[in-house]
Amino acid sequence: MRTRGRAAAAIGVLFGGALLLGQAGPGGSREGDLPALGTQLGELPAGEMKPLADQACLHCHSADMIRQQRLNEKQWTAEVKKMAGWGAAVPDDQQAALVAYLVEHFGPDNDRFQPVAAQPAGR
Amino acid sequence: MSGMSRRGFLLAAAGAAAATALTPPKRRLLQMNGYPLDAETPLELLGETYITPNDLFFIRHHWNPIFPDARTWKLTVDGEVERPLALSLADLKAMPQSSVTCVLQCAGNGRSLHRPIVPGVQWKYGAVGNAKWTGVRVRDLLDKAGLKAGAKHLHTFGTDAPPEKVPPFHRSVEMEKILRDGIVALTMNGAPLPQLHGGPARLVVPGWAGDHWMKWLARVSPQAEPQTGFYMDTAYRYPKTPGAAGVTFKPEEMTPVTELFVKSNITSPPAQARVGKKATIRGIAFSGAPDVSKVEVSDDFGMNWTEATLGKDHDPFAWRLWYHDFVPKAAGKTTLVARATDSSGSVQPREAVWNQSGYLFNAWPSVEIEVVA
């Protein structure tokens, strides 16, 4: 399913990858509960760097975390460095291009993000 | 989950989103992050009830949690104790139970309101709630284990584990505070502590920011020194001395976020007000001090203040609901601002102290009201 269109690819990264393998542990996991609450997975915007961003970022968190940011180049550079240090798969020679992509779409003027209205969780 | 059901879910989610856009449900959470889950309570729902219902309580996960199985879960007590313990949920339930009704606020609540803008979950108003937490007092737990003299910090560990090379969320709380006020909570508002909120057990640290309230608590360990690592030495720190907005501080120039700052919010302004007719605004107010002593409202940006009426419900470190009746004198737009004062005399400031992680935003809330003739 990961090859069938953008939405399927994104969800493949979310559910098919090591996200779950890395998180499942003895005594419990969230596998049965994903996707959770009001999940409506926003995507990263189209662009040359989208595949890398999908691969490097969505492994650990949804695109929402990026889509809500409004950061300048200096701030995005620091974020990308931090995340690369924490294991995000961003080759050194791709970091500048990734930062440029993030600044272009999620710079200080970004006002497009809206939270997902979720039905209250009963548990 | 099969491939087919994943696609089915996507379609269902898209349909639900379309419906949501047309008629936003009143009772809802505002989800900021699909995974790990982060969701806040809408501002207008915060002031409706003294106790925030569990299903409307904000959710904040650092990463996809590993929910403990309550049937096999045990809480380990080790470190500077005479008798290390491993207690099941039944063991903990058999101990004397204590309750505290108090505010839980994420350290980053209001982060999106700081200027210059800072990175992180862009919380607005609702990463805060007020609940009744019941469980075992940390003092009783450590008495049972035989706390040794010289242990000044309680190291705390949850079952959640970070992905990749992300540092673990290991924390510690000063022993003096946790012995005085801390509870290992097993229930939230009378229900078993929901998994989304750290069940089967989480730490409750009344008056202190949420980063101390370890969820999915698995181990507590009294130690002589504080915990180290990213989430102690770099994150959850606040400037010792406020600086200019936008100026980044080094970790050593900062101190751990602990007590909440005094803060009020306006949760329900009147949709419309009429000249000569009584109108009412409502809100919440809380602090890291045990109580809020007053809330005031101003219609001239703080030149003159009028005291609001505090709600009767009232517990140490809980929030106070408040309301303020006013009679507009002239038509047009009017702006109301509010500020709270706590029982230690701290007054909510006009501007919050900017800090690079966006913690503890507590500037005066304001609301613009249209007054018609």
* DSSP string for B176-245: HHHHHH-EEEEEETTEEPPGGGTTT-EEE-TTB-GGGS-SSEEEEEEESS---SHHHHTSSEEESS---T
**pLDDT tens track for B248-261:** 999 889 999 999 99
Chain A, nearest residue to B41 by Cα: A120
The whole-number pLDDT of residue B344 equals 97
The whole-number pLDDT of residue B25 equals 63
The whole-number pLDDT of residue B24 equals 55
Q: What is d(CA B210, CA B203) in angstroms, rounded to the nearest whole number?
A: 10
The whole-number pLDDT of residue B64 equals 87
Which of A32-36, A118-122, B133-137, B289-293 shows the lowest per-residue confidence on average (mean pLDDT)? Answer: A32-36
What is the pTM for the complete model shown? Answer: 0.90
Span between the terminal Cα atoms of chain B, in Å: 59
The whole-number pLDDT of residue A36 equals 67
Residue B21: is its pLDDT beyond 70?
A: no
Instruction: Provide the number of CB pairs (under 8 Å) joining chain A to chain B.
Output: 169
Give the residue carrying structure tokens 């097993």. Answer: B186
- CA–CA distances in Å: residue B132 to residues A57, B51, B206: 37, 7, 11
With cut-offs at 50, 70 and 90, classify the pLDDT of residue A35: low
With cut-offs at 50, 70 and 90, classify the pLDDT of residue B122: very high
Q: What is the ipTM of this complex?
A: 0.90
Question: Within a 10 A sphere around the Cβ of B7, how many other Cβ atoms?
Answer: 16
Q: What is d(CA B148, CA B61) in angstroms, rounded to the nearest whole number?
A: 33
Query: A60 to chain B: which residues are within 8 Å by CB?
Result: 63, 163-164, 166
The whole-number pLDDT of residue A34 equals 57
The CATH number corresponding to A41-106 among 1.10.760.10, 1.10.3720.10, 3.40.50.720, 3.40.50.10440 equals 1.10.760.10
Residue B272: is its pLDDT beyond 50?
A: yes
Interface of A with B in 55-94 (CB under 8 A): 59-65, 68-71, 75, 78-79, 85-88
Strand partners, B238: B255
The whole-number pLDDT of residue A5 equals 30
Of residues B76 and B13, more confidently modeled: B76
Residue B52: is its pLDDT beyond 70?
A: yes
The mean pLDDT of B338-354, rounded to a whole number, is 97
CB contact under 8 A, B167 and A119: no
With cut-offs at 50, 70 and 90, classify the pLDDT of residue A122: low
The whole-number pLDDT of residue B94 equals 98
Asked if B194 reaches chain A (Cβ–Cβ under 8 Å), the answer is yes
The mean pLDDT of B68-80, rounded to a whole number, is 97
CB contact under 8 A, B33 and A65: yes
Q: Write down the mean pLDDT value for chain A.
A: 78
With cut-offs at 50, 70 and 90, classify the pLDDT of residue B26: confident
* Exposed / middle / buried, residue A69 (Cβ in 10 Å: 0-12, 13-18, 19+): buried
The whole-number pLDDT of residue B42 equals 97
Q: Which amino acid is at B244?
A: A
Q: Where are the domains of chain A?
A: 41-106
Query: B59 to chain A: which residues are within 8 Å by CB?
Result: 37, 121
Residue B148: is its pLDDT beyond 90?
A: yes
In this complex, the residue of A60, A71, A121 whose CB is nearest that of residue B119 is A71
Residue A38: is its pLDDT beyond 90?
A: no
Which of A17-31, B76-90, B158-172, B260-274 shows the lowest per-residue confidence on average (mean pLDDT)? Answer: A17-31
* CA atoms B141, B52, B361, A67: torsion sign: positive
Residue B244: is its pLDDT beyond 80?
A: yes
**pLDDT tens track for A97-113:** 999 999 999 999 999 89
